[in-house]
Amino acid sequence: MEQFKTIHISIQNRKLGASIPSINLPAVTTCRANAPCRKGCYACKGTFLYSTVQKSMQNNLDIYKISPKAYFSQIQGYLQMIPFKHFRYHSSGDIVDMQYLELMVQTAKICKETKFLCFTKKYEIVNEYLTKHKLPKNLNIVFSSWGGFIPENPHNLPMTYVKFNKSELDKFIPQNAVECSGHCENCFACWNLKKKQSIYFNKH
Ligand code: SF4
């Protein structure tokens, strides 16, 4: 723990490209307990398994747990130094708790030049927050589904689906959902998704 004092923000992610920094947290630990994607989770494979990557994600979570404000003020400081137009939360991991979401909102309000994107399966936290508050326009929270694991979505947030090429699972994907092209820095569709719009990913 001691050797890590600063959060690790990733840049040059293969899918996101060099113009979209992201912050990651350990998958499973921060994911919902009954997440149906645990078995085939992409964040539990490939480069996410490198010990340096695992350590940096655990380090991020440790810093958040010790000081939520320090974690987010480092994200804010990073984006004030280099005002990237886009930022992605959690290629791995998920919204930790309500305070985390509140600080995501505060960060978006401070870093107005940046559009933030977060896919989540922590639906209940977001739904509860939205009963009393609105999200800033530059923070797009997108509910992520998995086959028939579909959230309650009373606020009509945009959604993602996974295409399994199995009719019993794919029947939930809306007709007008758009296929992910796989290269965010040439696309940015998810940062601009509006209420009731959706994207689908091909399962790999
Ligand atoms: S739809 Fe576009 S922005 Fe969304 S994940 Fe796919 S490539 Fe990235």
The string of DSSP letters for 9-73 reads: EE--BTTTBTT--EE---TTTSS-TT-TTSTT-GGGSGGGGSHHHHHHHHHHHHHHHH-HHHHHH
pLDDT at residue 74, as a whole number? 97
Tell me the HSE value of 166 on the side-chain side, using a 13 A CA sphere: 8
Residues 158, 195 contacting (CB under 8 angstroms): yes
Residue keyed to tokens 């992520």: 144
pLDDT at residue 172, as a whole number? 96
Residues 71, 7 contacting (CB under 8 angstroms): yes
* Tens place of pLDDT per residue across the chain (204 aa): 445 589 999 997 777 878 999 999 999 899 999 988 877 676 677 777 778 989 999 999 999 999 999 999 999 999 999 999 999 999 999 999 999 999 999 999 999 999 999 999 999 999 999 999 999 999 999 999 999 999 999 999 999 999 999 999 999 999 999 999 999 999 999 999 999 999 999 987
pLDDT at residue 42, as a whole number? 67
* C-alpha to C-alpha distance for 90 and 57, rounded to whole angstroms: 10
Query: How many whole angstroms from 115 Cα to the centroid of ligand 1?
Result: 14
Residues 89, 75 contacting (CB under 8 angstroms): no
Whether the predicted model's global pTM rises above the 0.75 cut: yes
Residues 123, 152 contacting (CB under 8 angstroms): yes
Query: How many whole angstroms from 67 Cα to the centroid of ligand 1?
Result: 31
Cβ-in-10-Å burial (0-12, 13-18, 19+) of 25 comes to buried
Query: How many whole angstroms from 184 Cα to the centroid of ligand 1?
Result: 5
- Structure token pair of residue 56: 């940096």
pLDDT at residue 1, as a whole number? 46
Residue whose CB lies within 8 A of the most ligand 1 atoms, among 88, 180, 185, 202, for a mutation test: 180
